[in-house]
Amino acid sequence: MEETRENKMGTMSTNKLLITMSLPMIVSMLVQALYNIVDSIFVARVDPDQYALAAVSLAFPVQSLMIAVASGTGVGINAYLSKSLGMKKMDEVRKTAQNAVLLAFLSWLAAFLLGLFGVEIFYKFLTPTAEIRSYGKDYLSIIMMFSVGMFFQIIFERLLQSTGKTIYNMITQGTGAIINIILDPILIFGYFGFPKLGASGAAIATVIGQTIAALLGLIFNIRFNKEIHLSLKGFRPNGRIIKKIYAVGFPAIIMQSITSFMTLALNKICYLFPENIAKNGVNVLGVYFKVQSFVFMPVFGLNNGMTPIIAYNYGANHKKRIMSTMRLGFVMAVAYLLLGFVLFETIPDLMLKLFTSDEEMIRMGTIAFREIAPSFIFAGFSIIIIATLQALSHGVYSMIVSICRQLVVLVPVAFVLAKVFNTINVMWIAFPIAECVSLILCLLFFRSVYRKTIKPLAD
């Protein structure tokens, strides 16, 4: 039967398979990263004092948290669905996809309620500056309350990714990002007869792009993802499957959401210093996360391409294919991040000038970028190991690594450096220190998983 035919993830050369599955994801992630940069460039020009940029920078942890919930759930869906596909359990594949749609809806509902009631409280906690609070409330309320497109986009893309159809993800993400980029200046500055909406315009452009991408993802799943048969006919929530999804997905959510709490903590550390220094520090941190996304997003695209390949071949007992996929992943990730290291060390001032003409912020940002850059090289190895651990249903190890890297090491070290040296410019050294610790933990955990899970597989 068509449903039980061997999927390409079990037959195609692993080198070719990883490249063909990851390349569309990498391209779409690069487009997403370009959008992130362009979005902030426009917002930075809303007001001369760059309060709007600070507001959007402070909103970044919340946006990251929503993406963490959607992406982490997607990791669980991806791992369980791909494993079921490898084991030829087609009814389980169908039910997993149905429950994935339910989880996307419930996640959006939670974000809507928090956006309705919690945004003002959030900004009061972070900053005493009224202008930043005003811009932030307008921007983040829209992002959260109308995030339905974001949640469904990510889940629909994960369903396509689980069966190896990543080319459609490139189309959905690319289309959403391009629409976003086009609408940004029109809605922010009021071109072509549209009202000048400022930071709110940036938020509206974002949610429109996400909603269109979600609709495309739904269409592609219905028309082309025949292995899943996405339909809500006769659907009932399945607690057993949801538990399986979150066995991997919940640690992934925690792991990714830790970035949000880390960023919040670093923003608070910036406010240990006088207000103007603190604002520049927040903006430098915000710009850094936007620019570094251009370095890390493609590696996460590689990560996303790897996960279903390893999960499928784990389900199909193909040890050699798991290891060869990992080896190529290491080479590709480290090579790309090495390029990012070179750029951050050599031209940080040129990157910063895209966002600001403030000499003090450029000087602070140049120091920060150069101090953070060495962490990229270590991160390449860690990202590939973490993807492998997740695909093999050992997501708890990934969660432990992220907690240690960002909360146990990075934030406390940044705080101590800022306090001891009484300058914001040394706190950035905490990034490479934390990344070294992360790599050591990853290697220790993978050694254990390899012995217990991979080595016994009968190839």
Instruction: Tell me the per-residue pLDDT of 101-119, one tens digit each, with 9 for 90 and over.
Output: 899 999 999 999 999 999 9
pLDDT number for residue 3: 43
- For 184, the enclosing helix (H) or strand (E) is helix 167-189
Would you state the torsion angle of the CA atoms of residues 139, 143, 145, 147, taken in this order, to the nearest 10 degrees? 170
On the question of pLDDT at 92 being above 90, the answer is no
Question: What does the pLDDT look like over 387-413, one tens digit per residue?
Answer: 888 888 787 888 888 889 989 999 999
Do the beta carbons of residue 356 and residue 50 sit within 8 Å? Answer: yes
Q: What is the DSSP string of 226-260?
A: TTT----TT----HHHHHHHHHHHHHHHHHHHHHH
d(CA 127, CA 131): 10
- For 8, the enclosing helix (H) or strand (E) is none
Does residue 235 sit in helix, strand or coil? coil
Of the pLDDT bands very low, low, confident and very high (cuts 50, 70, 90), residue 265 is very high
Average pLDDT of the segment spanning 154-183: 86
Q: Range with the lowest mean pLDDT among 124-138, 149-163, 223-237, 266-280?
A: 223-237
Q: Sign of the C-alpha dihedral, residues 84, 85, 89, 91? A: positive
| Most distant pair of Cα atoms in the chain: their distance | 69
Question: What does the pLDDT look like over 229-245, one tens digit per residue?
Answer: 777 777 788 888 898 88
d(CA 426, CA 367): 9
Distances (CA, A) of 137 to 48, 79, 133, 183, 205: 19, 37, 6, 20, 16
Q: Report the range out of 128-137, 230-239, 306-315, 341-350 with the highest average pLDDT.
A: 341-350
d(CA 151, CA 214): 8
d(CA 25, CA 307): 12
- What is the token pair recorded at 233? 């006919």
pLDDT number for residue 430: 96
Encoded amino acid at 254, one letter: I
Average pLDDT of the segment spanning 401-426: 93
- The closest alpha carbon to 246, from 79, 95, 61, belongs to 79
Average pLDDT of the segment spanning 451-455: 84
Average pLDDT of the segment spanning 57-69: 89
